[in-house]
Amino acid sequence: MVVLLDDSGESVYDFDLGSNFGKDRQIHEMTEMLDANDIDRLRETVLCTSDRLLDNSLRARAWPLFIGQDPNLDVYMKSLSEKTSGEESHKDTDQVQKDVDRSFIYLCDTAGEHSEIPHLRKRLFNVIMKVLEAIPGINYYQGYHDVATMVVLAFEDDYEAFQFLYILTLRYLRDHMMTSIRPTIKQLDIIPELLSHIDYDLYLILEPSPPVYALSSIISLFTHDITNIADISLIWDFIFACDEPQLIIYIYTALLIYYKDDIITDLNEMSDSSIDSAGSRYDTDIVHAVLNKFIRIHLSIDSIDSKLEVYNVLKLALDIRKKIPLTKLKTFRHISKFSFLKSKSTSITVLALQIKEHQQYESQLNKKRYITEKLNNSQLLKRELRRSPILIKASLGVCILGVILHTTYKNSGIKVGIGNELARNVIALWNCMKDTLK
């Protein structure tokens, strides 16, 4: 028997998770809410019960209502198919196919007999490609297929699966689909700062390690690291019922805090040492090794205990969000105003602005990198010349002078005016040599 309490201590639900009667009653109640289009009440119900939506048939109806739909998508897709008719295949087709061929490996029990897997993979490939073709400018990434796998399992109808994945991509994933991983890294940087406000001791342990350990969970909405589909479903029910992309960051932080003792135990076992009073640190590689697998280890068994742990983690995530809004964090200021963490828009126009901003930013970085590289090469040449014997320096000067003379005559075509141009070049060479020989 499980009794769930709200913040005031009042009983919200009192039922046996193993009881078919309890589940049937909940399914009936939620179906009535959906039929009545009572979305607010359904949200509250989903957030109060550890079983969430219980059933994929309910999810296929509730998820699109929770995160929104695009009423113009059908018209847009029709015009898009007319424009792209006869065009070459998408640039990411080969990579998508490779990832799809590796999909459903951990979901055999959920997917049914092994004979169903080829059909599911075909559906998965078609849905992914349709979304990539429908949204201009986005780039496929490994881990996106894990997200799409959950969608295909939840929606039996392919077009409904496409519609939902289309909105999900724009509303929850678009930052990860730019031309570089930089927008995602900026999101990951929020985690240590958020952790420092909630559990400073754990922050000190993990702080020396860049938060790339969270990458796979963040970009896949936890589907890459959690193989238990029931737990993934509970997490998704929660995120979509709240309709808050920022919760992805809060949930990962809550997982770190919830399993803090287990993480430290694993770190101690792998490093044969522990944090001492002097503040010694664990090796970065060991930290990454532990954090890369801790979610999969603790959330891999479909059981009542697992469901309650997920429920507790999600409740902790809400508590953290209430205490520490992301807007108070310095790292959040570095997030683009077009990011889904700041704008939940599904507008293609907003996406285009985000892509343009990202491209400009990357272009500026490339220019700075090019200039820095040139300056470094110049400084290196100077240092090498200063170490060289005077004879080599003089020889080099003569060689350079010869090249300048050759180039001057070759480019001039006639001899008129050569004297002035040659004089300027020799003076420039002389100044360069004086600086080098200092």
- Asked whether residue 368 is domain-assigned, the answer is yes
Look at residues 161, 177, 193 and tell me which one is the last residue of a structural domain.
177
pLDDT of amino acid 21: 56
Mean pLDDT of the chain: 81
Q: What is the pLDDT of residue 306?
A: 75
State whether 248 and 327 are in the same domain.
yes
Check residue 338 and give its pLDDT.
96
pLDDT digits (tens, 9 = 90+) for 275-298: 543 445 788 899 999 999 999 888
Q: Confirm whether 83 is domain-assigned.
A: no
Could you tell me which of 175, 165, 194, 210 has the C-alpha nearest to residue 73?
165
CB 326 within 8 A of CB 317: no
Q: Would you place residue 23 in the very low, low, confident or very high pLDDT band (cuts 50, 70, 90)? A: confident
Confidence class of residue 140 from pLDDT cuts 50, 70 and 90?
Answer: very high
Mean pLDDT over 188-200 rounds to: 97
Angle at alpha carbon of residue 266, lines to 278 and 268, rounded to 5°: 30
- How much of the chain exceeds pLDDT 70, in percent? 71
**Based on the domain organization, do 328 and 256 belong to the same domain?**
yes
Handedness of CA 134, 91, 173, 224 (dihedral sign): positive
Range name among 82-91, 110-119, 191-200 with the lowest pLDDT average: 82-91
Selected residue with higher pLDDT from 168 and 136: 168
82, pLDDT greater than 60: no
**CATH number of the domain to which 205 belongs:** 1.10.472.80
List CB contacts of 417: < 8 A, sequence separation 6 or more.
Answer: none
pLDDT above 60 (res 34): yes
Whether residues 263 and 201 fall in one domain? yes
Does the pLDDT at position 418 exceed 60?
Answer: no
pLDDT in tens, 330-357: 999 999 999 999 998 899 999 999 999 9
Look-up: residue for tokens 């689909």?
A: 177
Q: Are residues 197 and 341 in the same domain?
A: yes
Per-residue pLDDT at 90: 86
Which has the closest alpha carbon to 211: 330, 331, 361? 331
Q: Find, among 246, 249, 222, the residue nearest to 236 by Cα.
A: 222
Angstrom distance (rounded) from CA 256 to CA 249: 11
Cα(73)–Cα(64) distance, integer angstroms: 13
Nearest partner of 138 among 100, 179, 83, 167, judged by Cα? 179
280 & 131 share domain: no
pTM above 0.85, yes or no: no
pLDDT digits (tens, 9 = 90+) for 404-414: 655 555 555 54
Q: How confident is the model at residue 25 (pLDDT cuts 50, 70, 90)?
A: confident
Q: Which range, of 120-124, 176-180, 314-318, 402-406, averages the lowest pLDDT? A: 402-406
Residue 341 belongs to a domain: yes
Say if residue 338 is in the same domain as residue 274.
yes
The reply to whether 27 and 116 lie within a common domain is: no
Domain contains 216: yes
- Residue 74 resides in a domain: no
Q: How confident is the model at residue 101, as a pLDDT? A: 95
Residue 80 lies in a domain: no
Rounded to an integer, what distance in angstroms lies between the CA atom of residue 88 and that of residue 389?
Answer: 61
* Domain CATH number, residue 170: 1.10.8.1310
Backbone angles phi, psi at 209, to 5 degrees: -95, 125
Q: Is residue 326 domain-shared with residue 235, that is, in the same domain? A: yes
- Angle, CA of 334, 339 and 344, to the nearest 5°: 140
| Whether residues 240 and 315 fall in one domain | yes
Model pLDDT, residue 364: 86
Residue 302, beta-bridge partner list: none
- Residue 114, CA distances (Å) to 111, 170, 230 in order: 8, 32, 19
For residues 218 and 319, membership in a common domain is answered with yes
On the question of pLDDT at 93 being above 90, the answer is: yes
Whose CA is closest to 215, among 240, 243, 191, 239? Answer: 191
Rounded CA-CA distance 133/119 in Å is: 21
Listed residues 112, 145, 177: the one ending a domain: 177
pLDDT score of 425 more than 60: no
Per the domain annotation, does 98 fall within a domain?
Answer: yes
Q: Does the pLDDT of residue 228 top 50, yes or no?
A: yes
Buried/exposed code over 118-147 (b: 16+ C-beta within 10 A; e: otherwise): eebbebbbebbbbbbbbbebbebbebbbbb
pLDDT score for 276: 43
Q: What local confidence, expressed as pLDDT, does residue 211 receive?
A: 96
Amino acid at 344: K
> Does the residue 400 lie in any domain?
yes
Per-residue pLDDT band at 371 (split at 50, 70, 90):
confident
Q: How many domains does the chain have?
A: 5
User: What per-residue confidence (pLDDT) applies to 13?
Assistant: 34
pLDDT of res. 405: 58
pLDDT exceeds 70 at position 78: no
| Mean pLDDT calculated for residue range 141-154 | 96
Q: What pLDDT is stored for residue 76 in this prediction?
A: 67
Tokens of 337: 């105003």
pLDDT of residue 49: 73
Confidence class of residue 396 from pLDDT cuts 50, 70 and 90? low
Is the pLDDT assigned to residue 392 strictly greater than 80? no
Residue 230 has pLDDT above 70, yes or no: yes
Query: What's the rounded mean pLDDT across residues 379-401?
Result: 61
The 3-class SS string of the chain reads: CEEEECCCCCEEEEECCCCHHHHHHHHHHHHHHHHCCCHHHHHHHHHHCCCCCCCHHHHHHHHHHHHCCCCCHHHHHHHHHHHCCCCCCCCCHHHHHHHHHCCCHHHHHHHCCHHHHHHHHHHHHHHHHHHHHHCCCCCCCCCHHHHHHHHHHHCCCHHHHHHHHHHHHHHHHHHHHCCCCHHHHHHHCHHHHHHHHHCHHHHHHHCCCCHHHHHHHHHCCCCCCCCCHHHHHHHHHHHHHHCCCCHHHHHHHHHHHHCHHHHHHHHHHHHCCCCCCCCCCCCHHHHHHHHCCHHHHHCCCCCHHHHHHHHHHHHHHHHHHHHCCHHHCCHHHHCCCCCCCCCCCCCHHHHHHHHHHHHHHHHHHHHHHHHHHHHHHHHHHHHHHHHCCHHHHHHHHHHHHHHHHHHHHHHHCCCCCHHHHHHHHHHHHHHHHHHHHC
pLDDT tens readout for residues 239-277: 999 999 999 999 999 999 999 999 999 999 888 755 543
Please tell me whether residues 194 and 330 are part of one structural domain.
yes
Determine the Cα–Cα distance for residues 355 and 219; give it in Å rounded to an integer: 18
Give me the domain span that covers residue 14.
Answer: 2-67
pLDDT at 6: 40
Q: Are both 331 and 358 inside the same structural domain?
A: no
Kindly indicate the confidence band of residue 307, based on its pLDDT and cuts at 50, 70 and 90.
Answer: confident
Contact 152, 119 (CB under 8 A): no
User: Which candidate, 151, 158, 168, 159, places its Cα nearest to that of 240?
Assistant: 168
